[in-house]
Amino acid sequence: MDEEAKMRTCHLLDLPWEDVLVPHILCYLPLQHLVSLQRVSKQFHNLIKVYLSNCRTFHLSPTSPCIPREAFCSMLKDNKVLQNLSLQNCSDWVSDKELLPVIGQNQHLQRVDMSGCACLTRHSLVAVSLSCMHLQHLGLAHCEWVDSLSLRSLADHCGGLQSIDLTACRQLKDDAICYLAKKCSNLRSLSLAVNANITDESVEEVAKNCRGLEQLDLTGCLRVRNQSIRTLAEYCPKLQSLKVNHCHNVTESSLDPLRKRNVVIDVEPPLQRALVLLQDVLGFAPFINLQI
């Protein structure tokens, strides 16, 4: 009886690794839990190694502890099938030395987020552009090392790009953004926020070339004016969201046509702003008949 019961007993590691455990169980565990699981036994270590070499997504939760350099290199050294790579939890230390080998052996990457990675250089962006021809989404927010030449390389090789975040990439000027717009006409989401170099020229070129644009962030682009916002309204019928906070030269005359199309704008209409200000002063919101 004992032998029969023993034969009926099935342990987790007895299940087929690549057909069952990797695609149907381990894929639902956070990466930090998988790393802990590696320490349980030699068998679990080998199992997690198989999983990491076959995983399509490398993305740690923003609330997770910063991943050590050695762990990052160890976890990705055998992976050649990544499609989604996020470096949020490595941004304090990751450099070209650690990233370039990962990019070089993962040519199927579709989404890469390098936001806030201050230790990288333009070489990493050039490597992404040369290796990842199928790239669709790219995060470069607060990467001040991004320059015109590296962005042009990206535009030349990644024409299928659908979204790019260039928030606070302050080296970039109109010429680079105009080049990107002409080469990547499938862009649906674009952030040029917090860049005082951006003018109407960039916005108009984006509007005329990226007709399917749905989201545009111009927060803090102080040189953008009404003229380019009107062009945006004319050429981008699919626009859903526009951010123009702190764009002091953009007024309601250019925003009103977009509001009538139900485009979400992060700046309230003048009357609404006046009511909010009045409420702050008086401590209550007065009743005003807006139908008069």
pLDDT of residue 282: 60
The two tokens of residue 108 are 């199927």
Give the pLDDT band (50/70/90) at residue 291.
very low
Smallest CA-to-CA distance from 231 within 209, 260, 247 is with: 209
Q: Where are the alpha helices (DSSP H) in the chain?
A: 2-8, 22-24, 31-37, 42-54, 69-76, 96-104, 122-131, 148-157, 174-183, 200-209, 226-235, 252-259, 270-282
Residue 93 has pLDDT above 60, yes or no: yes
Q: Which of 91-100, 242-251, 275-284 has the lowest mean pLDDT?
A: 275-284
Cβ neighbours, 10 Å, residue 189: 18
CA-to-CA distance for 246 and 267, rounded, in angstroms?
Answer: 9
Residues of the chain with pLDDT > 70, as a percent, come to: 88
Name the percent of the chain in helix, strand, coil, to the closest 5: 45, 10, 45
**pLDDT one-digit tens code per residue, 27-48:** 888 877 887 888 889 998 899 8
pLDDT of residue 14: 85
Specify the higher pLDDT residue, 249 or 24: 249
**pLDDT one-digit tens code per residue, 138-191:** 999 999 999 999 999 999 999 999 999 999 999 999 999 999 999 999 999 999
Range 171-280: architecture per CATH: Alpha-Beta Horseshoe (3.80)
User: Cα Rg for the chain, rounded, in angstroms?
Assistant: 25
**pLDDT one-digit tens code per residue, 74-84:** 889 999 999 99
Contact 128, 138 (CB under 8 A): yes
pLDDT of residue 33: 83
pLDDT of residue 292: 44
Smallest CA-to-CA distance from 58 within 126, 110, 134 is with: 110
pLDDT of residue 168: 98
Contact 107, 83 (CB under 8 A): no
pLDDT of residue 166: 98
**pLDDT one-digit tens code per residue, 229-242:** 999 999 999 999 99
DSSP annotation of 27 reads G
